[in-house]
Amino acid sequence: MPRPMTMAEKILAAHAGLAEVVPGQLIECDLDGVLANDITAPIAIKTVREIGAGVWDPERIFLVPDHYSPNKDIKSAEQTKVTRDFAHQMGITHYWEQGCMGIEHALLPEQGVVLPGDLVIGADSHTCTYGGIGAFSTGVGSTDAGVGMATGRAWFKVPETIRIVVDGELPAGATAKDVILHVIGMIGVDGALYRAIEFAGSTIEALSVEGRLTIANMAIEAGGKAGLFEVDDKCRTYVDLRAKRPYVEYHPDADAQYLQVIHIDAADIQPCVAWPHLPSNTHPVSESRHIRIDQAVIGSCTNGRIEDMRAAAEVLRGRTVADGVRCIVIPATQAVWKQCVHEGLMDVFIDAHCVVSTPTCGPCLGGYMGILAAGERCVSSTNRNFVGRMGDPTSEVYLASPAVAAASAVAGHIELPGNL
């Protein structure tokens, strides 16, 4: 009998063709998918050409021009052209042209190209998002992604696993974003360095799949190699509407060995904000109301799904953005954008004097569509608030849920929706 294993260990063992694996073991695995974007793909493509083998499977390579798309300048246009030409030359099925694409980590689960039990690498650190639907997905360098594109294989060191169990009912106003900010605030930005995180408990089970994707997305902000959620009926319903191939569920053994098990009472999780310049620098919104802002951003691969758009619109409905504040709304995919139109959310955003963008990573990485000037402050539903992340090195980014970002845009300072 194989040893009891965690989710991460089971997925890696299966893809290595082994009955069992142990933490620290070096293994080579077959991949189910390789992702790159308009920034990282050109380097990966260069590696593929140096290997000289073409691509391993044109249906399992995912190329998404989302970071500087639509192209903001000549250099970004050239990067996207390299990616586009390679996709066409290699017959890559999953290249999403501008007008069809979305922010990569929202797009791939939505399109059903990443499924439970998959092993996926991506040349972007937030590839860990797909753990929200039970996949082992992790970010790698562009060279490793290029090797994966050419060979369909990658090596891994089997990570130890931390299990985080959240039980109980979340307080009013607290969201999945607050859950992960609370966790990162507890364990720090390196608390799960090169470790997998399993999320479990009644609070987690009550979350939507979109909420789980939000939490998995920010596992990397605690240093995690992957953030994993068990597949349940909610997940199956989400996936079965999208999947075009079979998938395999992997559940942890009851007696699996964890590096650490952390229990959290959901009642202790309050709506919170991560102050500059680390996602772990968390403070309750109620203690952050004195902080005036110049900009709010609602979107990103963390919080740009339809659930997030609805939450922001509910706050903004019948209100307007404060004088001197810009509010930028970025639906994560074209499908989300279209759903916003159907539900009348676009009218709410525009009537509230928001800027509404096509799907793009844009300001999250300091790319464009919302760069901060010296000394400016932004409250954002994105995932990182490092020095200079969204613009000038003296600017500041405060991470929050979409509802808090929307409320802050209306108030002109960090604020709870219930206080408007």
pTM of the model: 0.96
Residue 108 tokens, joined: 């791939």
| Cβ neighbours of 270 (radius 10 Å) | 20
pLDDT at 218: 96
| CB contact burial 193-213 (16+ within 10 A = b; e otherwise) | eebbbbbbbebbbebebbbbb
Using CA atoms, how far apart are residues 315 and 408, in angstroms rounded to an integer?
Answer: 10
Alpha-carbon dihedral sign for residues 303, 294, 360, 228: negative
Kindly report, residue by residue over 56-95, the tens digit of the pLDDT. 999 999 999 999 989 999 999 999 999 999 999 999 999 9
What are the Cα distances from residue 124, in Å, to 41, 43, 105, 117, 371? Answer: 10, 12, 9, 20, 21
The residues that bridge with 32 in the sheet, in sequence order, are none
119's tokens:
């092993």
**SS3 per residue for the chain:** CCCCCCHHHHHHHHHHCCCCCCCCCEEEEECCEEEEECCCHHHHHHHHHHHCCCCCCCCCEEEECCCCCCCCCHHHHHHHHHHHHHHHHHCCCEECCCCCCECHHHHHHHHCCCCCCCEEEECCHHHHHHHHHCCEEEECCHHHHHHHHHHCEEEEECCEEEEEEEECCCCCCCCHHHHHHHHHHHHCCCCCCCEEEEEECHHHHHCCHHHHHHHHHCHHHHCCCEEEECCCHHHHHHHHCCCCCCCCCCCCCCCCCCCEEEEEEHHHCCCEEECCCCCCCEEEHHHCCCCECCEEEEEHHHHCCHHHHHHHHHHHCCCCCCCCCEEEEECCEHHHHHHHHHCCHHHHHHHCCCEECCCCCHHHHCCCCCCECCCCEEEECCCCCCCCCCECCCCEEEECCHHHHHHHHHHCECCCHHHC
Rounded CA separation 46/345 (Å): 42
Residue 377 contacts residue 413 (beta carbons within 8 Å)? no
- Whether the Cβ atoms of residue 282 and residue 274 lie closer than 8 Å to each other: yes
pLDDT of residue 1: 77
- The amino acid sitting at 98 is Q
- How many other β-carbons are positioned within 10 Å of the β-carbon of residue 87? 22
Q: Give the separation between CA 122 and CA 127, rounded to whole angstroms.
A: 6
Residues 6+ apart with CB under 8 A from 170: 178, 179, 203, 266, 269
- In order along its 420 residues, the chain shows pLDDT tens digits of 789 999 999 999 999 999 999 999 999 999 999 999 999 999 999 999 999 989 999 999 999 999 998 999 999 999 999 999 999 999 999 999 988 989 999 999 999 999 999 999 999 999 999 999 999 999 999 999 999 999 999 999 999 999 999 999 999 999 999 999 999 999 999 888 999 999 999 999 999 999 999 999 999 999 999 999 999 999 999 999 999 999 999 999 999 999 999 999 999 999 999 999 999 999 999 999 999 999 999 999 999 999 999 999 999 999 999 999 999 999 999 999 999 999 999 999 999 999 999 999 999 999 999 999 999 999 999 999 999 999 999 999 999 999 999 999 999 999 999 999
Burial environment of residue 237 by CB neighbours within 10 A (0 to 12, 13 to 18, 19 or more): exposed
Identify the bridge partners of residue 328 per DSSP, sorted by sequence position: 297, 355
Read off φ and ψ for residue 30, nearest 5 degrees.
-80, 140
Homologous superfamily (CATH) of 7-263 is Aconitase, domain 3 (3.30.499.10)
Distance CA 166, CA 160 (A): 20
* CA separation for the pair 13, 35 (Å, rounded): 21
CATH class of 272-419: alpha beta
Per-residue pLDDT at 208: 97
**CA pair distance 62, 70, nearest whole angstrom:** 18
Q: Which of 420, 396, 391, 392 is nearest to 408 (CA)?
A: 420
Residue for token digits 């994707």? 213
Query: Crossing angle for the helix pair 209-217 and 176-187, nearest 10 degrees?
Result: 30
Q: What residue spans in the chain does CATH classification 3.30.499.10 cover?
A: 7-263, 272-419
